[in-house]
Amino acid sequence: MGAARFLRGLALRVDPRRLKVIVNTGDDEEFYGLHVSPDIDTVTYTLAGLANPDTGWGLSGESFNTLHALERFYGKGWFALGDRDLATHLYRTDRLRQGWPLSRITADIALRLKVRAQILPMSDDRVRTFVKIRGREPMPFQEYFVRNRARGQVEKIELRGAGRARPLPQALQAIRSSRAVILAPSNPFVSIGPILAMKGMRSALASIKDRVAAISPLVGGKPIKGPADKMMRGLGHEVSPAGWAKLYRDCVGTMVIDQVDRSYLEPIRTLGFKAVATDTIMTSPARAAELADVVLGALEV
Amino acid sequence: MGAARFLRGLALRVDPRRLKVIVNTGDDEEFYGLHVSPDIDTVTYTLAGLANPDTGWGLSGESFNTLHALERFYGKGWFALGDRDLATHLYRTDRLRQGWPLSRITADIALRLKVRAQILPMSDDRVRTFVKIRGREPMPFQEYFVRNRARGQVEKIELRGAGRARPLPQALQAIRSSRAVILAPSNPFVSIGPILAMKGMRSALASIKDRVAAISPLVGGKPIKGPADKMMRGLGHEVSPAGWAKLYRDCVGTMVIDQVDRSYLEPIRTLGFKAVATDTIMTSPARAAELADVVLGALEV
């Protein structure tokens, strides 16, 4: 998850207490009766310093004894949940059943894991991202991404419930009062897309556009990880930093692309953006922090 | 749990496919949003050969990684749930939420763990055993037994919901059609008591009284484990095999007491029971099987 890597670097440059992270919940899924919020957890575990750096999900040093025992009842699973990770899902599910909104639970979990940044789900309402692959019925994101390993030609992304979901008021407020907003190098359709689909989100960003930067998830026409290129192609977009930039014309002022893609600086500027090229490959927290420096610099923060 | 030890021996003598075990659910409790049925699980794990012989609860070779991680959210717990044991509770809770009755879930879990005996919860309805200790409000059984280590003077046992709970029809049917019914050497108030409190249960036993035996949980005035003696005393019963036998006058024909208590054979016979004395201390499955032989012999099965 590029967002997590970037956050790890950003937190080295910005006082975490001033950091507010708006997180996609369209990938949330129920497993074994538990509400799992993969993106929230990855962000939380990353900022808590507990994330597994090798996998991009879950906790470091995990065991999988419960998951193994669950196979007796559910058959072989396709979504790995570690024993310690399960505690998070148990707690979240328990609190949801008690009527707590997801945002309150998320803040509570972050606090207990000693995360100082604010982690804000995009909404307390349920939004579910479905991916439509050629020849298949639309399937929930995790099924597409994990179970089917993002195979197949993407024809459509559906954000079910996005139209009637209320955006988290604190998220909109955070944008309006922020000195800078950074769209992490994440998938524009299934990671950033659901957040921007929240009512008022795009216009909130548009109103402070000169303080908004986005980091390209593409390097040389490919994402570091994940199906962003396949989705762009499938959905009829040009698979390039320029094609990517066009997705954000209304709500982003500054585009940060990888140095190998510097030939796209001019086309992106022609679209009306400020644009900078730099090394966006975050092989270490220090490199991620350097990327954060460039982005903050471009925003003149 | 004396019942589990006895079952382990009984299953060596009786074809498990003919064995039906009616189990107390008054001790069921919710932990971390999961429905835990301690007695059902102990019986199931025991008959599956998976039980931890050292503790009397849980699975052998367990780890406790999830439980440890849960402390961050709930504080230090007082009820130990192992990682593999959790899979059982997750599955049960998930199925309950889907509307399955506990009896169907119990049979399903037993099947998946390759248990051939039938395990029958006393009821699909919720019954909760509360223990009233001097100077305290009544507390749920697990809180009394595990959290408070059965401390304090017992003044009252409340079986909340027992009056309106429907006994499991298969349990009543099993009794009526059985060649022999054995009340395991268990606590008469909180283990056997809730089962007998199910409507029609005592009269079903009474109607086949000569085929019903009970094994005393007392040896020399003390239970091998647990607070049966304290409860008898607190509730005004004579703490002896005779005091114990009186609890079952209406519904048991044959009393099996420990050899050290053989002086009580005559008093118990005077109460109208058949009575035998034997070694009831089950230090091994083989010894438990010998006890089963004596009980089955006394019932002339």
The answer to whether the Cβ–Cβ distance between A34 and B90 falls below 8 Å is: yes
pLDDT score at A239: 96
List pLDDT tens digits, range A185-221: 999 999 999 999 999 999 999 999 999 999 999 999 8
Question: CB of A86 within 8 Å of any CB in chain B?
Answer: yes
Nearest to B112 among A33, A72, A112 (CB): A72
* A97 at B interface, C-beta within 8 A: yes
Among B72, B93, B108, B109, the strongest candidate for a mutation testing the A interface, having the largest count of A CBs within 10 A, is B72
The pLDDT of residue A82? 97
| Dihedral (Cα; B105, B111, B115, B121), 10-degree rounding | 20
- Cβ separation B69–A63 shorter than 8 A: no
Q: Which residues in chain B have their CB less than 8 angstroms from residue A112's CB?
A: 72-73
Encode pLDDT of B14-53 as tens digits: 999 999 999 999 999 999 999 999 999 999 999 999 999 8
B284 Cβ neighbours under 8 A, 6+ residues apart? none
d(CA B295, CA B253): 12
Six token digits for residue B279? 């070694």
Q: A124-153: per-residue pLDDT in tens?
A: 999 999 999 999 999 999 999 999 999 999
In chain A, the residue whose alpha carbon lies closest to the alpha carbon of B35 is A94
Count other Cβ atoms within 10 Å, centred on residue A63. 15
Are the beta carbons of A72 and B34 separated by less than 8 Å? no
Residue A230 has pLDDT above 70, yes or no: yes
Q: Which domains does chain B have, with CATH numbers?
A: 2-121 (1.10.8.240), 128-157 (no CATH), 169-298 (3.40.50.10680)
Sort out which chain A residues have CB atoms less than 8 A from B69's CB and list them. Answer: 83-88
Indicate the average pLDDT of chain A.
Answer: 96
Of A221, A275, A224, give the one whose Cα is nearest residue A245.
A275
Mean pLDDT for the stretch of residues B260-288:
97
Between chains, do A63 and B70 touch, taking CB under 8 Å as contact?
no
Looking at beta carbons, which residues of chain A come within 8 Å of B32? Answer: 90-91, 94
Provide the pLDDT for residue A1.
Answer: 66
DSSP A166: P
Give the gap in angstroms from C-alpha B271 to the nearest C-alpha of chain A: 49
Closest-CA residue of A relative to B59 is A69
What per-residue confidence (pLDDT) applies to B107?
98
Q: Are B72 and A113 a contacting pair, CB within 8 Å?
A: yes
**A30 in contact with B at a CB cutoff of 8 Å?**
no
Question: What confidence category does residue A29 fall into, taking pLDDT thresholds of 50, 70 and 90?
Answer: very high
Of B66, B94, B112, the CB nearest to A87: B66
Q: What is the pLDDT of residue A56?
A: 81
Q: Which residues of B touch A86 (CB under 8 A)?
A: 66, 69, 86
CB within 8 Å: B72 and A113:
yes
As a whole number, the mean pLDDT across chain B is 96
* Tens digits of residue pLDDT in B212-253: 999 999 999 899 889 999 999 999 999 999 999 999 999 999
Query: Residue B222: helix, strand or coil by DSSP?
Result: strand
From the list A72, A116, A66, the residue with the least C-alpha distance to A87 is A66
pLDDT at B54 over 90: no
Segments in chain A forming alpha helices (H): 2-13, 38-48, 65-74, 83-97, 102-112, 141-142, 169-176, 192-196, 201-206, 228-234, 241-246, 265-270, 285-298
Cβ-defined contact of B66 to A84 (cutoff 8 Å): yes
Distance CA B36, CA B126 (A): 12
CA distance A115 to chain B (A): 13
Residue B99, chain A, CB below 8 Å: the answer is no
Report ipTM for this prediction. Answer: 0.91
pLDDT for the residue A55: 85
How distant is the Cα of A174 from the closest Cα of chain B, in angstroms?
27
Nearest CB neighbour to B63, from listed A33, A63, A93: A63
Task: Say whether A72 and B87 touch across the interface (CB within 8 A).
Answer: yes
HSE-CB of B149 using CA atoms within 13 angstroms: 0
pLDDT digits (tens, 9 = 90+) for B127-164: 999 999 999 999 999 999 999 999 999 999 999 999 99
Q: Is B60 on the interface with A (CB under 8 A)?
A: no
CB contact under 8 A, B65 and A83: yes
| pLDDT tens, position by position, A154-184 | 999 999 999 999 999 999 999 999 999 999 9
Share of chain B above pLDDT 90, in %: 95
* Whole-number pLDDT of residue B225: 86
- B65 and A63 within 8 Å at the Cβ level: the answer is yes
